[in-house]
């Protein structure tokens, strides 16, 4: 590194981790190049709301250039990084080479189908705006088809929705979908008997939202069952051919709609990175968030694998990503100023998941809540954390409207 010039920091990914790293360097004497394959940051915790027509894609996305309008030391480049060379210290983007002095890899993850090629082919997922909109289109199409299907069994199959994975995304999607059916679709399809519809939530393990405390796992199960979600624990998927879900115990469910929320793995560009990897291809990093052997290269967010003080892997959630982004920015400043780096300590701000109208589970300051109060906290925090004042107003308006009128924003089927 030429110590006379301004150091160049390349940040790959404008998710929670990358965004926070970029902000942490706002006042530093560095040049930042922020790279993302999309031109917008996505508020991923609400992506499932797009799938159930509760929010619009634009309400949980914010153009990256708008976010950084006032940060003069940052340049945004849209594109997909095709290679990272940590030896020569450059990344390849849109056919060009971008050299860096410091690198922050915050590329997130992609859906892990664990080798289920048939699920990848016929199933739906919630990874970005496109997959969420595709899922919304599929859900709405099934109601349209059911509305002109005379055969009862066929109609029931069309109106069966299987969600795989009992983590927060699976639980929130199942709860919200059950409510969409009972509150909104009932009015849109007065001639359909919506008792024929069912939402099935499959979980391979013996409880939902595994990393939550026991009392919240139980509360979640009860809240979902009260909303008529058919929760099947200890249910392993065996195959899905677009018509039938087969479980390991031999049971079959006839459906055209399987939403897979059961795993995340590393993106392609990390597969070629010569580094030690954990399950799912996540990069094992030092407690300082550095790539071992490459002090100028940091890996953070879902792409990184790190154990906490109790030797448990840090979960792939937004609060970890945000804190790591801030910590990586500080450590880069320490490197520049030739100070000792500090290890990352995750401060758990609490857990929160919603199971539909008036129902959520939360653990905050060590106290577990469920029901209405947890739900109110969930609504407040999610609106507060959405980026952009305009989006906050729009989401608040939306949810208030839905709450009062039992309506959902836009049940639009768009072409794919």
The long-range contacts involving 279-283, CB below 8 angstroms and separated by at least 24 positions, are 279/305, 280/109, 280/112, 282/109, 283/105
Options 144, 153, 268, 271; binder of a second copy; rule CB under 8 A: 144
Question: Contact, 333 vs 28, CB < 8 A?
Answer: yes
Burial class (CB in 10 A: 0-12, 13-18, 19+), 112: middle
Looking at the Cβ atoms of 190 and 250, the one nearer to a second copy is 190
Which tokens in the block code for residue 46? 């609400």
Min dist. Cβ of residue 301 to a second copy (A): 22
Min dist. Cβ of residue 144 to a second copy (A): 5
Residues near 195 by beta carbon (within 8 Å), at least 6 away in sequence: none
SS3 19: helix
Min dist. Cβ of residue 409 to a second copy (A): 7
Looking at the Cβ atoms of 18 and 170, the one nearer to a second copy is 18
Spot the catalytic one: 120, 130, 144, 172. Answer: 172
Min dist. Cβ of residue 150 to a second copy (A): 10
Task: Specify the residue for token string 């897979």.
Answer: 260
Min dist. Cβ of residue 34 to a second copy (A): 12
**Position 414 contacts a second copy (CB under 8 A):** yes
Question: Contact, 165 vs 260, CB < 8 A?
Answer: yes
Q: Can you give the length of the chain in residues?
A: 416
**Position 403 contacts a second copy (CB under 8 A):** no
Looking at the Cβ atoms of 63 and 292, the one nearer to a second copy is 63
Site for a second copy in 52-111 (CB under 8 A): 56-58, 61, 63, 65-66, 69, 75-78, 94, 96
SS3 363: strand
Looking at the Cβ atoms of 284 and 411, the one nearer to a second copy is 411
Residue in 79, 155, 58 with CA at minimum distance from that of residue 409 = 58
Determine the interface stretch with a second copy among 152-160, 167-175, 186-194, 300-308 (rule: CB under 8 A).
186-194
Task: Specify the residue for token string 């939202």.
Answer: 209
| H runs (alpha helix) in 308-408 | 318-336, 372-385, 389-405
Is 144 tagged catalytic? no
Looking at the Cβ atoms of 65 and 334, the one nearer to a second copy is 65
Min dist. Cβ of residue 397 to a second copy (A): 7
Beta pairing class for 294-299 and 102-105:
parallel
Options 176, 321, 394, 395; binder of a second copy; rule CB under 8 A: 394
**Position 39 contacts a second copy (CB under 8 A):** yes
Question: Contact, 39 vs 14, CB < 8 A?
Answer: no
- In angstroms, the Cα distances linking 59 to 41, 74, 177, 284, 402 are 11, 24, 19, 34, 15
Options 97, 130, 236, 373; binder of a second copy; rule CB under 8 A: 130
**Position 250 contacts a second copy (CB under 8 A):** no
Options 118, 120, 188, 296; binder of a second copy; rule CB under 8 A: 188
Task: Specify the residue for token string 């708008």.
Answer: 66
**Position 40 contacts a second copy (CB under 8 A):** yes
Min dist. Cβ of residue 412 to a second copy (A): 5
Q: Where in the sequence numbering do the catalytic residues fall?
A: 172
Positions touching a second copy (CB under 8 A) are: 38-40, 56-58, 61, 63, 65-66, 69, 75-78, 94, 96, 129-130, 133, 140, 144, 147-148, 187-191, 390, 393-394, 397, 401, 407, 409-415
């Amino acid at each position: 590194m030429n110590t006379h010039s301004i150091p160049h920091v390349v940040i790959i990914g404008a998710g929670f981790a990358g965004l926070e790293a970029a902000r942490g360097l706002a006042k530093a004497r560095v040049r930042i190049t922020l790279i993302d394959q999309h031109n917008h940051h996505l508020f991923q915790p609400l992506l499932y709301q797009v799938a159930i027509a509760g929010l619009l894609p634009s309400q949980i996305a914010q153009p990256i250039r708008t976010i950084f309008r006032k940060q003069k030391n940052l340049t945004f480049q849209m594109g997909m990084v095709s290679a990272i060379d940590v030896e020569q210290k450059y990344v390849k983007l849109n056919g060009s080479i971008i050299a860096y002095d410091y690198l922050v890899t915050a590329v997130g993850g992609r859906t892990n189908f664990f080798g289920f090629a048939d699920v990848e082919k016929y199933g739906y997922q919630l990874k970005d705006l496109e997959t969420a909109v595709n899922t919304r289109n599929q859900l709405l199409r099934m109601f349209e088809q059911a509305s002109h299907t005379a055969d009862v069994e066929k109609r029931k199959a069309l109106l069966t929705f299987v969600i795989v994975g009992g983590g927060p995304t699976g639980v929130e999607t199942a709860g919200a979908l059950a409510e969409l059916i009972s509150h909104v679709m009932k009015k849109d399809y007065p001639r359909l008997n919506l008792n024929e519809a069912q939402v099935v939530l499959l979980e391979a393990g013996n409880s939902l939202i595994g990393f939550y405390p026991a009392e919240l796992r139980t509360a979640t199960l009860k809240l979902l069952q009260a909303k008529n979600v058919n929760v099947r624990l200890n249910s392993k998927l065996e195959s899905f051919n677009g018509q039938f879900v087969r479980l390991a115990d031999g049971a079959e469910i006839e459906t055209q709609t399987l939403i897979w929320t059961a795993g995340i793995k590393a993106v392609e560009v990390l597969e070629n990175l010569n580094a030690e990897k954990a399950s799912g291809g996540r990069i094992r990093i030092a407690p300082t968030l550095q790539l071992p052997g490459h002090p100028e290269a940091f890996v953070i967010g879902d792409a990184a694998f790190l154990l906490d003080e109790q030797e448990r892997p840090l979960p792939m959630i937004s609060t970890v990503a945000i804190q790591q982004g801030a910590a990586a920015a500080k450590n880069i400043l320490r490197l520049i100023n030739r100070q000792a780096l500090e290890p990352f300590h995750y401060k758990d701000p609490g857990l929160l998941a919603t199971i539909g109208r008036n129902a959520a589970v939360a653990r905050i300051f060590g106290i577990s809540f469920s029901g209405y109060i947890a739900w109110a906290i969930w609504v407040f925090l999610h609106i507060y954390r959405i980026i952009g004042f305009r989006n906050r107003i729009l989401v608040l308006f939306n949810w208030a409207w839905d709450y009062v009128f039992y309506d959902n924003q836009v049940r639009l089927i768009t072409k794919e």
